[in-house]
Structure 1
């Protein structure tokens, strides 16, 4: 193979791989930073009919996963760890 083709192939594959490397670096970097679970859960639970229970469950989930989905309900796909946590009965734990 000609040297110019090798160079172009290397350049092409490095461009494909760079977003993946950045995503992994961002996840590694974000796991080192702790979020403020108190204020995140206050926002998540502000419309709950049982705010104290909601904040307690959310706080547990936040401390384990280091993330809280945005908004007051749903959006759990943003934080898969938060969405996977369940009670002993198999019911979703996190509000």
Structure 2
């Protein structure tokens, strides 16, 4: 299982357009084979910060995701809208336990 966790930031003046771009990549990604979770959430204390949460069945599913047209569109849109301070980590989980 592949888990991606991280955060990024958008300029305040681009938040509405950024939300639309996020909605598009979320819809496309959730429809992909192997996607178990794909979400962005806005930080409660800093509305310009968004947290990333992705879970994929395996590395091939994640790698395929990175080649999808909706992901390329997201990267282009995010760049033009000023996404910055991106910090994301990929984890390979071998054991999963529900809390």
Tell me the TM-score normalised to structure 1 length.
0.31
What TM-score, normalized by structure 2, do the two folds share?
0.30
Larger Rg: 1
Higher helix share: 1
Higher strand share: 2
- Structure showing greater relative contact order (alpha-carbon pairs closer than 8 Å, 6 or more residues apart): 2
